[in-house]
Structure 1
Amino acid sequence: MTRKLYIYDHCPFCVKAEMIFGLKNLPFERIILLNDDEAGPISMVGRKVLPILEEEARFMPESMDIVTHIDQQGTPVLTGTPNPAIADWINATNSTLYRLYLPRAACAPLPEFATTAARAYFVQRKEEFTGPFFEILKDSSVEIASLNKMLEMLAPLIRNPEAVNGTLSTDDIHLFAHVHSLSLVRGIQYPPAVEAYRQAMSRRSGVGLYDTIAV
């Protein structure tokens, strides 16, 4: 079966959908759309949203629906029990992370921003929520220090570099997508347990980190 996954490279929800293919070692075609392409997603699922999975001319949106669907093909790999403390940690860092992440994504050499119009589309829509990107990029030291402290709190929650709770679970999908976004922020300091986890999960899922282009 040919599977196509329509994504944006920067999108954490798209990262979640990509991860399950890598964790299960299943082939798929990775298709990155321009950020200002509204017609493509609307023609597939009736609204501008990614990721979208295409299987046999049928289209499925929503990252965790895709994760569940693909994990059910053959033997599931996400069999572990989630730890509520992981969700709590993600929720506690969400707003700070994405305030720092979105302006940096807009600067990054990513394929969904291959045209000036696509990059401008992203900036215009995201600045409605964050405020001007240039103001955030001028000085992020306080927010970065806050995230570094939060990472120290995450480290004891990681039971194994290969799976946060010891056995792969949906926590790994959510947590790695989160730390994947963090990798675009220069100045983030990863405690050894977190560093081992993000490297192992990047390798297992086949989703690369942004360390070399961090801003």
Structure 2
Amino acid sequence: MKLYIYEHCPFCVKARMIFGLKNIPIELKVLANDDEATPIGMVGKKMAPILQKDDGGYMPESMDIVHFVDTHYASPLVTGPVNPLIGKWLEENHAAAYPLVLPRNVNGRFEEFATPAARSYFINKKEAASGGFEELMSRTPGLVKKVSQQLRDLEPLIQQSNACNGELSDDDFHLFARLRSLTIVAGLEWPARVAGYRDNMANQTQVNLLTSVAQ
């Protein structure tokens, strides 16, 4: 199997996680951010992740990939219930996390931005939708303070370092993907329980954190 991804993409992280959790070999193929033809040729639109299955067919959508792999390869692991409070936290965190992470992604030395054309493609698309990156970066002090408080609010919701609700669930894919994205932001204050969960999930899923390129 092959998994077509962007390295910075949290949706791609979700799909990558299940292969690490189940120790299933997967070939990762990083798409250039300005490559529209390849994903359109596979699934009809520009998107990632895309799984090329053993039968040669293609599957998009991160959680569809997670559930397909979990149910078709060995015994299911993702069997726990979700916690609405995790979903609420993710929803509330998004408004502060997104403008912090977005402008930093393009400077993160990710393979999808290896060419000037790919980098410009990303900047032009995202600035048109979310505002100038320079302005977003200027908001860093207030947003770092807000997200640090939100991480403190998250701490009592983490039941175990290997499963936020005590048993692996869809919440772990959504939550770890968000926390991994936030590791590109320098200066955040990580409570011990949240940091422990973040680090343990990175180890279990074999998905690297972004602390080496934090800005």
TM-score (norm 2): 0.97
Shift of 1:108: 1.1
Q: Which residue matches 2:15?
A: 17
Post-superposition Cα deviations, 1:131-190, rounded to whole Å, max 9, x if no partner, equal 110122234100110000000100000011111011111110000000011000111110
Q: Which residue matches 1:80?
A: 80
In percent, how many aligned pairs have the same letter?
Answer: 47
Residue from 38, 54, 76 that aligns with 2:36: 38
Q: Which residue matches 1:198?
A: 198
Q: Which residue matches 2:155?
A: 155
AA aligned opposite 1:19:
M
Post-superposition Cα deviations, 1:20-69, rounded to whole Å, max 9, x if no partner, equal 10011111100001000000000000110110000121000000100000
**Equivalent residues, number:** 213
Confirm whether residue 62 of structure 1 aligns to residue 61 of structure 2. Answer: yes
1:210 and 1:108 map into 2 onto residues whose CA distance is: 8
Shift of 1:84: 0.6
TM-score (norm 1): 0.97
Shift of 1:212: 1.4
1:66 and 1:139 map into 2 onto residues whose CA distance is: 35
2:23 and 2:160 map into 1 onto residues whose CA distance is: 21
Shift of 1:126: 0.6
Post-superposition Cα deviations, 1:62-98, rounded to whole Å, max 9, x if no partner, equal 0010000001022011111111100000000112111
Q: Which runs of 5+ in 1 are unaligned?
A: none
1:197 and 1:205 map into 2 onto residues whose CA distance is: 12
Which ranges of 4 or more aligned residues in structure 1 deviate by more than 2 Å?
none
AA aligned opposite 1:48:
K
Residue from 1, 4, 7 that aligns with 1:6: 4
Shift of 1:214: 0.4
Q: Which residue matches 1:164?
A: 164
Q: Which runs of 5+ in 2 are unaligned?
A: none
Q: Which residue matches 2:115?
A: 115
